[in-house]
């Protein structure tokens, strides 16, 4: 897959680069690489203290969290490394040692 941005008008993934411009062959839209279109795609998610989070950050759990469907509990103070931000209600995708892959809400973590 290419790392070129989707078209901001029609969301087509078939864009190509022409010198310093991006071009969409489906709708004909052209835009420069420095436009703010790419910044709109980045998620702006904050932790419980209001600090901005980014992919790859390490966070600490600030509340005991029950794992749905099991008797496991994620304890207060558990460090979670290498998080990934996703869109939705549970906006952090991660892997917790001893538990496995999980989705967390950003309101229950703080940036480490």
Per-residue pLDDT at 88: 86
Q: What is the mean pLDDT of the chain?
A: 87
Nearest residue to 42 via CA among 51, 54, 50: 54
Q: What is the pTM of this model?
A: 0.62
Average pLDDT over residues 9-28: 87
35 versus 84: which is more confidently predicted?
Answer: 84
**How far is it, in rounded angstroms, from Cα 58 to Cα 21?**
36
What's the mean pLDDT in 51-63? 94
Ranges 13-17, 28-32, 74-78, most confident? 74-78
Higher pLDDT, 108 or 12: 108
Query: Distance between CA 22 and CA 80 in Å, rounded?
Result: 37
Give the domains, in start order, of the chain with CATH numbers: 1-38 (2.20.25.10), 59-111 (2.30.30.40)
SS3 60: strand
Separation of alpha carbons 30 and 15, rounded Å: 9
Instruction: Give the C-alpha separation, 104 to 108, whole Å.
Output: 8
* Contacts of residue 37, Cβ cutoff 8 Å, sequence gap at least 6: 5, 8, 31
Q: How confident is the model at residue 35 (pLDDT cuts 50, 70, 90)?
A: low
């Amino acid at each position: 897959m290419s790392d070129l941005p989707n078209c901001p008008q029609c969301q087509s993934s078939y864009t190509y680069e022409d010198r310093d411009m991006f071009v969409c062959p489906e709708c004909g839209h052209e835009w420069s690489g420095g436009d703010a279109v790419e910044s709109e795609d980045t998620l702006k998610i904050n932790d419980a203290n209001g600090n901005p989070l980014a992919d790859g950050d390490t966070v600490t759990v600030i509340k005991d969290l029950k794992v749905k469907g099991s008797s496991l509990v994620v304890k207060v103070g558990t460090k979670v490394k290498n998080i990934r931000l996703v869109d939705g209600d549970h906006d952090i995708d991660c892997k917790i040692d001893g538990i496995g892959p999980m989705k967390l809400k950003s309101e229950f973590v703080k940036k480490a």
